[in-house]
């Protein structure tokens, strides 16, 4: 059942006047409370589908959820100086350090300006060989397997995207540490997720939290269960620092991103090594997680939609003719790119964007108090029938060149929006297209019959029970 089609008359007309806000004092003091709109069939407390602004509380924290692109536009664009990243990002700041992902204010603006050229098309194009190398290596491993080939698609994509990002960031130096780092990365992100579940109800003062978080990097053992994450944090810190310091002493001519980080400079000078370390670790961890989940969901959706999958395979075969893709081929794979983009709409890896109001504000006549956490429920907006025709259908055609849908700019937010839109969005799209094209040259992925598949809102939107799939080798003339 497509519930939005049934309640569309209860919402404003497509022309776009937002619906009135709705207030509830019922608290769901759990992490799932922030999954407003994740179950777009019911919505949080059964009312998000009737209102474009909804207020609720969880413990000591006040929340406002914004379900209309015009309201979202205000937070991400016109009124952006009144909002900052919410406390949830402090947990990642403790693990990753101060980077574009966790920084704020003038410091963020300076570093964003400094690093923007690093992700310009001319630099990304130079990374293609580094990105393809680990994909091809994994294909060689799969080709060596015999018999029925069943893979855990989530695990496959996590490992593969980590290797691709690591290779693009550190060059061939990353290969030897990739396998052991994968488990550490996953463990660290899972612990951060558990902390976020706690802080949904009550977030400690930021200065207190930052002081406490520093203890993770000290040799003094923390009490369980923090001792395990302390070990993860210290090992990751050591591994990345070793790569950064080695490259700082022994520079190379590799096109990888670490060289760009070390060479970046402005009138204030080059980046301090600590900032290089923080940016590198953030790009590696945050950069692979969302792409891995987007790809996992894409393979699932393609398996459910054989016509879309057949068109993808035909495009890959026609354009590439069995050879390894080049930079010039990327623009010739529009359906492949559209499948990846549509997967990010249908199952949004970044399923919600949290901000906190740093001063009082008014949105369309609604008062937003200072200190209120504002939630942008990306997944819900991506399934709103006002902006997406047949939103429950997997339709990559929405993203083909020339489609030019007349929808608000904040109706599609896989990488956020405004000036703080993810700096690595072009890299992620390029990575997604390369992985999809190369794997599709050799394999077709089908679902394991009877396995339950449902979304789970962790730090990103993941399949709750994993995603086992059967990899069938393609037989081509």
Report the pLDDT value the prediction gives residue 87, as an integer from 0 to 100.
87
Lowest mean pLDDT among 92-96, 172-176, 451-455: 172-176
pLDDT number for residue 471? 96
Confidence of residue 232 (pLDDT cuts 50, 70, 90): confident
Q: What is the pLDDT of residues 394-434, one digit of tens each?
A: 999 999 988 877 889 999 999 999 999 999 999 999 999 99
Nearest to 432 by CA among 252, 264, 321, 312: 312
Domains of the chain: 3-473 (1.10.630.10)
Mean pLDDT of 132-144: 94
306: which residues sit within 8 A by CB, 6+ positions away?
A: none
Q: Model confidence at 214, in pLDDT bands (50, 70, 90)?
A: confident
318-375 pLDDT, tens digit per residue, is: 999 999 999 999 999 999 999 999 999 999 999 999 999 999 999 999 999 999 999 9
Give the C-alpha distances (Å, rounded to integers) separating 208 from 205, 231, 315, 316.
5, 22, 54, 53
Phi and psi dihedrals of 434, rounded to 5? -65, -45
- The mean pLDDT of 441-461, rounded to a whole number, is 91
C-alpha–C-alpha distance, residues 446 and 456, integer Å: 21
pLDDT for 340 equals 98
Q: What is the pLDDT of residues 292-323, one digit of tens each?
A: 999 999 999 999 999 999 999 999 999 999 99
**Average pLDDT over every residue of 188-198:** 71
Q: In this predicted model, what pLDDT tens digit does every residue of 241-273 receive, in sequence order?
A: 999 999 999 999 999 999 999 999 999 999 999
Residue 440 scores a pLDDT above 70: yes
Q: For residue 225, is the peptide bond before it cis, meaning its omega torsion is within 30 degrees of 0?
A: yes
CA distance 365 to 213: 39
């Amino acid at each position: 059942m497509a519930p939005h089609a049934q309640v569309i008359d209860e919402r404003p007309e497509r022309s776009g006047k937002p619906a009135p806000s709705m207030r509830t004092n019922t608290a769901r003091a759990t992490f799932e409370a922030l999954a407003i709109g994740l179950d777009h069939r019911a919505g949080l407390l059964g009312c998000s589908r009737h209102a474009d602004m909804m207020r609720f509380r969880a413990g000591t924290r006040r929340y406002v959820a914004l379900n209309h692109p015009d309201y979202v536009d205000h937070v991400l664009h016109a009124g952006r100086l009144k909002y900052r990243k919410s406390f949830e990002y402090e947990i990642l700041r403790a693990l990753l350090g101060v980077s574009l992902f966790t920084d704020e204010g003038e410091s963020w603006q300076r570093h964003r300006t400094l690093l923007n050229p690093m992700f310009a098309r001319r630099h990304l194009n130079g990374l293609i060989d580094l990105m393809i190398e680990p994909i091809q290596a994994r294909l060689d491993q799969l080709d060596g397997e015999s018999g029925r080939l069943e893979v855990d698609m989530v695990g496959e994509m996590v490992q593969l995207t980590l290797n691709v990002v690591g290779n693009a960031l550190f060059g061939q130096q990353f290969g030897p540490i990739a396998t052991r780092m994968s488990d550490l990365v996953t463990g660290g992100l899972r612990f951060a997720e558990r902390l976020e579940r706690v802080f949904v109800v009550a977030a400690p003062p930021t200065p207190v939290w930052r002081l406490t978080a520093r203890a993770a990097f000290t040799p003094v053992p923390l009490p369980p269960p923090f001792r395990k994450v302390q070990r993860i944090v210290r090992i990751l810190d050591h591994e990345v620092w070793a790569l950064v310091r080695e490259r700082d002493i022994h520079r190379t001519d590799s096109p990888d991103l670490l060289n760009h980080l070390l060479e970046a400079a402005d009138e204030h000078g080059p980046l301090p090594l600590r900032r290089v370390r923080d940016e590198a670790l953030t790009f590696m961890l945050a950069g692979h997680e969302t792409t891995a989940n987007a790809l996992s969901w894409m393979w699932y959706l393609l398996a459910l939609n054989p016509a879309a999958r057949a068109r993808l395979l035909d495009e890959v075969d026609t354009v590439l003719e069995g050879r390894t893709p080049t930079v010039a081929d990327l623009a010739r794979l529009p359906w492949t790119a559209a499948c990846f983009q549509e997967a990010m709409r249908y199952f949004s890896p970044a399923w919600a964007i949290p901000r906190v109001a740093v001063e009082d504000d008014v949105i369309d006549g609604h008062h937003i108090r200072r200190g209120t956490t504002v939630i942008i429920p990306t997944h819900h907006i991506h399934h709103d029938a006002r902006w997406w025709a047949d939103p429950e259908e997997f339709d990559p055609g929405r993203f083909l060149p020339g489609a030019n849908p007349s929808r608000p700019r904040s109706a599609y937010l896989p990488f956020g929006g405004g000036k703080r839109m993810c700096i690595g969005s072009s890299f992620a799209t390029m990575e997604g297209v390369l992985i999809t094209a190369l794997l599709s040259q050799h394999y077709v992925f089908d679902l394991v019959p009877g396995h339950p598949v449902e979304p789970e809102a962790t730090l990103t939107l993941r399949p709750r029970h994993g995603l086992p799939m059967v990899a069938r080798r393609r037989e081509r003339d």
